[in-house]
Every structure is written in structure tokens, then in C-alpha cells.
Amino acid sequence: MARVYNWQLGRDMSYWYPEKRPQRQFAAVFDTNKCIACQTCTLACKTTWTSGKGQEYMLWNNVESKPYGSYPLAYDVRLLEQLDGQRWEGSRYAGRTIFEAAPAGERVLGWRPEQQDYSYPNVGEDDCAGQVDHGALIQVPHLSWFFYLARICNHCTYPACLAACPRGSIYKRQEDGIVLVDQGRCRGYQECVRGCPYKKVFFNPMTGTSEKCIACFPKIEQGVQPQCFVNCIGKIRLAGFLSAADQAKAENPIDYLVHLRKVALPLFPQFGLEPNVYYIPPIHAPLAFNEQLFGPGAGAAMAAYRGAPADRDLAGLLCLFGSTPSLVARWRRRGDLVSGLDEKASEIVRVPLLEPVHVRPAVDPTRQVVRTNCP
């Protein structure tokens, strides 16, 4: 095992290979507050990449309702139980990662789902935490809650799938940090399926190899966001590249949200993979639950997001989500207009910070008309 630095844990940790960061890292921000669980993303990926034989059960993109939803079944709870609690001391992780908790002779603490664990991808959908009492009225904060968590491969900086593969069939591209399975080398041992804590590698019984989200790299290479991003109805997603924390640039939208404003957080950072899909936590869910999913920064992230209506830069950048199919390398706000720019600083999209609101009176005395059925 090598010693590597994991900025999400605030410390060094053990990993099977030495630290080797790519020239730039594909990354994304998902705003959980805007997801409506329409599953358009799931189908956008399915129809593009996994419509073949042996791929029927695979959802490289899935959307689960928390707290009860999970795909495959209980993928998160099973590992959290095995990790025996997670302790943070401030922003430093004091517990063990899945690499540090690996049993003797193994590279990763993992488990392999059974076939039936993939059978109910929408289990727990729209089930809220707690009972809603008969006759209860909506109160704020919500006493009962749920939220939707959209998930793809995290294209981790320290991928457990890559570490676990005994044949070296999984690799992380130097040019963009995207993690891929070499189909020619893979022999279907499924150690990657066992090792990935997010369960985002899938075994194809027809080809006898493992397959996973490829971050739509043919699109990324063309400067276009992936399928599940551009088809997102809720406009919750933004794809781009993340700089190292000490080189963060305010003009880079991903850097701004992750490193500078710290409003977008990794999923289960305590596993130790330095995942590169970042989530704006749901602001109506309990802090303790958000901290278990997104780490100790959840409270500050929730407060920053709640303050967005008075924070024109943050609100402006959030308006850029889903506004263009192109990758947004830079952004800027001028007054009430927010622009997305490409790598050559050419403007590719411009959106207003505030949409105009027109309220038409139900009864128009000038024209003597009633505009609704219920004046």
C-alpha cells in the first residue's frame, strides 16, 4: 500500500497505487434540491449505452429516493455498517477508509451484490422518513422528508474498482481523469464490482466482462456535456473539470462551487475514494443525515444554499445549470446577466439572473374580462 493525500479527508491515507493525478479531472455538481426523480437521465443513459444483451439490469445512471431508496439494494447501508461508524474531528476524518479497513490479503473492504439486489431499482421511491400523522398539515421545517439522489460513477481520484482489479484492466485517463474498463483485458473476475462502494461497475454475463459509466467521453472530447446531463429535466447538473484545491479558480464554475463556496460536497467521502461528483445537499433534510452522506461540511453548504436568494453570484451560477449542452469552462456575472464561456473565453450562453414575473389580474375592468374560472 502507498501513502496518498486525500483532500476530502484532510489527511494522508493508504491506497494500493501511488498518487498520480490526471492533467485535469472530469467532475460534476448535482443540485439535489432541484431533482424531481423524472428518471429522464436514467433513460438517456440507458438508451445510449446499455441497450445491449446482458445489459438489461444495468443502470449506469440511477436516481434513488433517500432515506430508503438504494440501487443495488442497501449498497450504502451495508458498507456503512461494515465500516463500524465514521468519526470526523472537524474536517479531518478520524475513522478508517475502505482501503484501510480491508481484511488481511485484500485490497479493499467490499462486498458483491446478489443478482436480486438489482431487481428493485426504485425501491423506497417517494417513501418519506417517519409517519405522516392523520390530519397533519405541512409545517416548516418538514417533520417528514425524502429527497432524490441521482448517481453516476464518480470517476474517483482513488478508484476502488481500479485498486481491486487483479489484472490491471481498469485505468484512469491522464487527459481527463475518466475511469474506464479495458474490455480486452477484463476476464470478468468481478473484483471491481465487489470493491466499488457505490456499486457503479456492472458485470455483463453475455460478454463476461465488467462495464461502467464512461462519462460519455466521446462527448467530453468534443466539449459537450454527457447524455444524462443535457437531458436533465430539472436542470440539476453541471459538468466540467475540477482543479486541485490550492489552484482553484473563481472563474471555473466547478472550482467555485466545490473549493471556494464549499456548497457542493462529495458523496460518502469517508469511504476514501475522493469521488468527483459533488452534491448540493437537500436543505430540507436533517443535518445529521446530510453529514453522513456528504461529510462535515453539510451544515455550511446548506446555509450557503439557503442564502442564495441574497447571494447574486451563487444564485447566478446556479442559473447556468442546464442552460447549455456545451461544457462551461468559465462563468461571469455582470449585473443581472450570467454568462457561460468556453475555454477560449468565448461566450456560449447568457441567462438572466431573475426571470420577469407578470401577474395578470383575474378581473380586467378595462377590457371587461374575467381571466380565470375562479375570480
Residues 6+ apart with CB under 8 A from 254: 27, 28, 29, 238, 240, 241, 242, 278
The residue count of the chain comes to: 375
Task: Give yes or no for residue 154 binding ligand SF4 (CB under 6 A).
Answer: yes
Query: Cα separation of 210 and 288, whole Å?
Result: 35
Choice between 234 and 281, CB closer to ligand SF4: 234
Q: Which of 4, 58, 73, 160 binds ligand SF4 (CB under 6 A)?
A: 160
Phi–psi pair at 372, nearest 5 degrees? -130, 165
**Cβ-closest residue to ligand SF4?**
234
Choice between 120 and 368, CB closer to ligand SF4: 120
Which pairing describes strands 25-31 and 277-280: parallel, antiparallel, or unpaired?
parallel
Q: Are 194 and 166 in contact (CB under 8 A)?
A: no
- In a 13 Å sphere around the CA of 183, the CA atoms on its Cβ side amount to 9
> DSSP labels for 13-69?
EEESS-----SSEEEEEEEGGG-----HHHHHHHHHH--STT-TT--SSEEEEETT-
Cell 464490482 locates to: 193
Choice between 179 and 302, CB closer to ligand SF4: 179
Choice between 265 and 273, CB closer to ligand SF4: 273
- Minimum CB separation of residue 17 from ligand SF4 in Å reads 13
- Minimum CB separation of residue 155 from ligand SF4 in Å reads 5
* Residues 192-221: x where in contact with ligand SF4 by CB under 6 A, - otherwise, as a string: ----x-x-xx----------xxxxx-----
Query: Cα separation of 142 and 82, whole Å?
Result: 31
Task: Give yes or no for residue 264 binding ligand SF4 (CB under 6 A).
Answer: no
Q: Which of 232, 263, 302, 338 binds ligand SF4 (CB under 6 A)?
A: 232
Task: Give yes or no for residue 41 binding ligand SF4 (CB under 6 A).
Answer: yes
Rule CB under 6 A: which of 294-313 touch ligand SF4? none
Query: Cα separation of 281 and 274, whole Å?
Result: 17
- Minimum CB separation of residue 87 from ligand SF4 in Å reads 23
Q: Which residues bind ligand SF4 (CB under 6 A)?
A: 35-41, 44-45, 48-49, 60-61, 63, 148, 150, 152-156, 159-161, 179, 196, 198, 200-201, 212-216, 226-228, 232-234, 236, 273
